[in-house]
Amino acid sequence: MIKSLSKPLFLLTLLVSTSTWSQNAMQDAVNTKASKDWSIVIRNTTTTNMYSLDSVNHQASNRTRFDFNLNMPGGRIGINSTLVKDFQGERKQQLTDFRINFVKPAGKIGKYINVVHFPILTIPTSENSDKRANLTTQLTYVPFTSIDGAMFGSKNLSVLVIPYVVKAFHKYTTTTLGTSNNEWLVGINPIINYSITDNFMTGPQFSYARSWTYLGNSEDSYNIGWTATLSFMKTWTAMLGYEVGGSPLAANGRSNQIDVTNLEQANMFLELATRF
């Protein structure tokens, strides 16, 4: 993730991959009604912070995520990985860990609320996880919850609530660089979308997470954003987004430093996705 993605938010991305583009992939995995037994989804996301191109603080990256999903009795199993390339420094391309997920409907709560089980198993194949963090494996559970807008009197409105808990298993409590590995992570991502037309929707989203090291030290991170998504040509989507985030507390651990207007902590991104 980028300069504006400070350590806690960068950590959040590495652990559970619940950034905006990953949330979008998760929504597709849960909501898409496949017309065949399998599907392939490719997402390409370019992200940049808000510094000028000639600034030493300017950073940008590209992420290409590959998902393969297979329908099974009672649910759907999927595997994904992401190819990441920074546009600064060595500009190396790196493949992230492989993640295996299973989508299984859990049922409805009342008339408007639908819950889906979404467990994820991480296989540490990347250099960061395998060589530096010495990660053995990682388990994530997401009770993916969607709320029909009719509950609020608008069929064009949809609300998603994505809580999650992550348990990591490492060989050592610290990385090879001497920083602490994180054992637990919990968080929540509320998302609101409003459909302006059948093909275009927009809305805000928010995330908050807390991680704990093996010694019990904790860090918090937040992310506030807005996205606009356009569907076209049946199998394509384009999403433009803005997000700002970092640590909600100042160094003294008490003062609030959430500032949605702080461009030094902001990013913009464009995602193009297609499915086969």
Most confident of 29-43, 107-121, 258-272: 107-121
pTM above 0.75, yes or no: yes
Q: How many CA atoms lie within 13 A of 17 on its CB side?
A: 23
The residue segments making up the domain with residue 243 are: 7-275
1 occurs within a structural domain: no
> Could you tell me the CA-to-CA distances from 197 to 86, 212, 224 in Å, in that order?
35, 42, 24
**CATH at 144:** 2.40.160.40
Please state which of the ranges 2-16, 153-167, 229-243 shows the lowest mean pLDDT.
Answer: 2-16
SS3 content of the chain, % helix, strand, coil (to 5): 15, 60, 30
Number of domains forming the structure of the chain? 1
In angstroms, the CA 169 to CA 206 distance is 28
Residue 89 has which token pair?
Answer: 């420094």
**CB 244 within 8 Å of CB 260:** yes
Residue 254 has which token pair?
Answer: 């008490």
145 occurs within a structural domain: yes
226 occurs within a structural domain: yes
| Position 210 confidence tier, pLDDT thresholds 50, 70, 90 | very high
In angstroms, the CA 100 to CA 122 distance is 6
151 occurs within a structural domain: yes
pLDDT at 21 over 60: no
The conformation of residue 62, written as its DSSP 8-state character, comes to E
Which comes out higher in pLDDT, residue 48 or 88? 48
184 occurs within a structural domain: yes
3-class DSSP assignment, residue 262: coil
